[in-house]
Amino acid sequence: MEELSDMRFNVLKMVFSKWYDENRCLTMLKVLFREHVGVGKLANIRNTMDLLNDLVRSNRLSPRDLTIICDTITVTKHYALQRKIQETFPSFPDIREGLISTKFTSHRQKLMKFGMALTPADVRQIDGLYNTPCKEYEDAWTMIIDLEKNLKIKEDMTDFYQSLEALNLRLALNALKEDIANTPSALGTNFTSPALVYRTRPVGSPHIQEAYRMTELSSLEFNQLLGNVSSWWEHYGNVNMLKVILSEFKVIPVSLMEEQNQPRSLFQLLKGSGLISQSNVDVIIETVVLGGQSGVEPKIKESIPTFPGLNQVEINSFSKHRRNLLEFGKVIGTSNKERIGYLFDLHVPELKDQWCLIFQLEKRHILTEDLHVKQAFVNKIMDNGMIAEAQALNTY
């Protein structure tokens, strides 16, 4: 990307700042930038623009070096922001999941993955373990800031790992332990945006593979596809089942997922996280197939004649665990839904259907991809005579 004039650089900062402020991500950014901005300064920053201006003053961001902007999008997984920026700056680099960050340490990136994996219930448990009385943190990021300040979270994570194990927060612990393949020490940091050294993941390792690929849609076609699928799902599908399907993607906070009651708003979360775009509709197409909504195909073809159809779709974007959960949901009857709810101390009146049950089991880490957790759950329901349900969880 060419060096920007001062005016265009300010416009870029405005677009970037508005995005993170509107998505209420300032505390997330304060966690991310702790190694670039002094802790005292961070405490007084009130908006994203203040944060960017401090980076400019310290020469970490400039009109000729936008690397830290690109890396921020990569690490926070706000990939849709790239397209927003490209509306004004077409030469802004393409950023995709799996790119290498060169500006943030492995430790910092792990904390970001950790924060994204935490549910509000997780935050309350950690708060209760470390604070008497509880501080009642506003969100995961506020908690991480406080625990770093009080040296409960630090480079040596051994003690903190043990705390998470004691609370049985396996998903959050796994996110914190996940290896970060490339760090600044390996790549160096002295390069400018025209020579970004990002590289994509090796073929075969992505979370979303490219087995089903339509030609890139126009903005109108893409919005029409979202509208058709959303309307169809609202009339013939189950929005709670859709929440279970889309819970595959941990980049979407559980709390945000739980708040949505319309298919369209759930698909907008996919769009905002960069999981679907005009050039990649794999996830939405596979979701239609998994959710048994193939009847929408003729409707899609009315507005997108080039739509290749659903017959040959391969499920590559969703894990075997996710598909097992869907099979599990299909065999749970009303009485067994309530029995499972009572077994695991879930508030049964709030479990409107089996999909609400599964969503809560996942949210509370009672049923997860972890083999030990899953087996304990399977054993429990088998002990209570729910053989078909147990078998469904081992379909794939």
Provide the Cα torsion 357, 362, 366, 370; round to 10°.
Answer: 140
Strand, helix or coil for residue 363: helix
- The residue with tokens 């905002």 is 272
Strand, helix or coil for residue 280: strand
Inform me whether the pLDDT recorded for 87 exceeds 90: no
Per-residue pLDDT averaged across 282-293, rounded?
Answer: 91
Q: What's CA 301's distance to the chain center, in Å?
A: 30
Inform me whether the pLDDT recorded for 195 exceeds 60: no
- CA 105/CA 160 separation, integer angstroms: 19
User: Quick one: pLDDT at residue 256?
Assistant: 80
- CA 91/CA 193 separation, integer angstroms: 11
pTM for the predicted model, two decimal places: 0.53
User: Quick one: pLDDT at residue 151?
Assistant: 92
Inform me whether the pLDDT recorded for 264 exceeds 90: yes
| C-beta of residue 267 within 8 angstroms of C-beta of residue 245 | no
DSSP bridge pairs for 193: none
In this predicted model, what pLDDT tens digit does every residue of 234-250 receive, in sequence order?
999 999 999 999 998 87
Name the residue among 230, 220, 213, 211 with its Cα closest to residue 304: 220
Inform me whether the pLDDT recorded for 181 exceeds 60: no
Strand, helix or coil for residue 288: helix
State the maximum Cα–Cα separation within the chain, in Å, rounded to a whole number: 70
Q: What angle do CA 51, 53, 54 make, to 5 degrees?
A: 65
Beta strand segments in 233-318, E:
none
Strand, helix or coil for residue 234: helix
Q: Classify residue 240 by its DSSP letter.
A: H
User: Quick one: pLDDT at residue 209?
Assistant: 35
The two structure tokens encoding residue 342: 């009572």
In this predicted model, what pLDDT tens digit does every residue of 331-366 receive, in sequence order?
998 889 999 999 999 887 788 899 999 999 998 899
The two structure tokens encoding residue 307: 């739509």
User: Quick one: pLDDT at residue 102?
Assistant: 80
Q: Which of 35-39, 139-143, 190-194 has the weakest average pLDDT?
A: 190-194
The two structure tokens encoding residue 384: 């209570």
Per-residue pLDDT averaged across 156-167, rounded?
Answer: 91
| C-beta of residue 286 within 8 angstroms of C-beta of residue 319 | no
| C-beta of residue 198 within 8 angstroms of C-beta of residue 99 | yes
